Amino acid sequence: MYEIQTYGTILNRMTAAVTAWAAQNGQQVDTREGSLIRTALAPAAYELAQIYIELQRVLDESFADTASWDYLVRRAAERGVVPYPATNAIRQGEFNMDVPIGSRFSLNLLNYVAIAKISDGVFEMRCETPGSVGNLESGRLIPIQYIQGLTRAQLTDVLIPGEDMEGLEHFRKRYFDSIFKEAFGGNIADYYNKVTAMQGVGGCKVYPVWQGPGTVKVVVIDSEWEAPTGVMTDAIQTALDPTVNQGAGLGLAPIGHTVTVAPVTGTQIDISFTLTYQSGYAWADVQDDVNAAIDAYFLQMAQGWDQVDWINTPTATLIVRVSQIETRILDVAGVIDITGTALNGGAANVALDADAIPVKGSVADV
């Protein structure tokens, strides 16, 4: 196994070689610290140590499991795998009138442009700045150019979330998946890769032979780890298998595949418990932190929703566990004990449906 040689190891080996050579010739040399020989060899030993460090870096960059971003991109390109770029959020704009397509509006530091009409006074608005930043703010839109008769302009729902550029570890995983999970001709891996590459998609489950031969169901969660909007679901449906002439191969699905796209569903979980507080604390003091801890747990579950072994075990589901909730609440400052935890009125864990993620309902200290 290759090992980096340190400066001290190299210098000691060099001085030992000089000592051995001198001994063979019946001589003695001084190689102690500060001696002429050691001082002369030190710069060369330092440079050799730097070479070893660079050799280790070359080895790391040569293999996909340790490569940094630039070199991983080059390695993955050999298999036709490229990073997903940042995408622009598609938001809903609501006006007192129909605005011209291409009209531009601003909200604080971001600009939005009207790209399609949904209904009277309601338009799809594309954020001009790529990334998840376009998902965050809502409120009053200011027209960049004057529009006669406009008295109301509001940015409301996120229709298709914008996404930041793909991260290093996600890209690394996708590269290895391209090797070990071969996508071909409408198999599960093929559908999964095509759907998760679409804008705003965080993950999906693919059910082959869903309602008989040739039928496929694709259940999708968005990149905000929530149920996608109808606009987004329809866009994925159209891209895979348009509802007109389904199965005709007019989308990404192979000819003969009738594809149905559905959003993930949310199951409300009401939580109650009895807390014991540290001196000076009450429910009002810890309520926000308790809710944040539960939110973090539910988000973690949603992010792993499509990682459940749904391929080999179609009945595998997420399970909201009492122990996990109690563990997280006990980490909240001011809480020293928790008892009587109930989920939806019962003391047991809650197993969700295969296509469901947990949604926080009421949270109460009883």
What does 10-48 look like in DSSP terms, one character per residue? HHHHHHHHHHHHHHHTT-----STT-HHHHHHHHHHHHH
Asked whether residue 310 carries a pLDDT value surpassing 90, the answer given is no
Q: How does residue 181 score in pLDDT terms, banded at 50, 70 and 90?
A: confident
pLDDT tens digits along 104-154: 999 999 999 999 999 999 999 999 999 999 999 999 999 999 999 999 999
- State the burial class of residue 179 (Cβ atoms within 10 Å of its Cβ: 0-12, 13-18, 19+): exposed
Q: What is the pTM of this model?
A: 0.78
By mean pLDDT, which of 19-23, 44-48, 172-176, 203-207 is the weakest? Answer: 19-23
d(CA 143, CA 63): 51
Asked whether residue 331 carries a pLDDT value surpassing 70, the answer given is yes
Asked whether residue 1 carries a pLDDT value surpassing 80, the answer given is no
Mean of pLDDT values over 224-236: 95
pLDDT tens digits along 239-266: 999 988 898 999 999 999 999 999 999 9
Asked whether residue 179 carries a pLDDT value surpassing 90, the answer given is no
Q: Which tokens sit at 61? A: 């960059």
- On average, the pLDDT of the chain sits at 93
Q: How does residue 166 score in pLDDT terms, banded at 50, 70 and 90?
A: very high
- State the burial class of residue 291 (Cβ atoms within 10 Å of its Cβ: 0-12, 13-18, 19+): middle
d(CA 54, CA 94): 57
pLDDT computed for residue 2 by the predictor: 60
Mean of pLDDT values over 49-71: 92
Asked whether residue 162 carries a pLDDT value surpassing 60, the answer given is yes
Mean of pLDDT values over 297-322: 87
What would you measure as the largest C-alpha separation in the chain, in angstroms? 104
Alpha helices in 141-270 (DSSP H): 168-180, 188-196, 230-240
d(CA 106, CA 93): 12
Asked whether residue 31 carries a pLDDT value surpassing 90, the answer given is no
232 near 160, Cβ under 8 Å? yes
Q: What percent of the chain has pLDDT over 70?
A: 98
- State the burial class of residue 207 (Cβ atoms within 10 Å of its Cβ: 0-12, 13-18, 19+): buried
Q: What are phi and psi of 78, to 5 degrees?
A: -65, -20
Alpha helices in the chain (DSSP H): 7-24, 36-62, 69-77, 168-180, 188-196, 230-240, 283-303, 322-330
Q: What percent of the chain has pLDDT over 90?
A: 83
Element (H, E) at 243: none
Residue 219 half-sphere exposure toward CB, CA atoms < 13 A: 19
pLDDT tens digits along 78-118: 999 999 999 999 999 999 999 999 999 999 999 999 999 99
Dihedral sign for Cα atoms in the order 270, 272, 278, 279 = positive
Instruction: Kindly list the domain boundaries of the chain, sorted by start residue.
Output: 7-62, 90-160, 182-263, 266-365
pLDDT computed for residue 22 by the predictor: 85
Mean of pLDDT values over 327-354: 95
Mean of pLDDT values over 25-49: 90
Element (H, E) at 221: strand 215-222
The set of residues, in sequence order, having a beta carbon less than 8 Å from that of 331 and lying 6+ positions away, is: 293
Lookup result for tokens 């179609």: 314
Q: How far is CA 315 from CA 58, 181, 275, in A?
A: 46, 22, 35
Q: How does residue 314 score in pLDDT terms, banded at 50, 70 and 90?
A: low
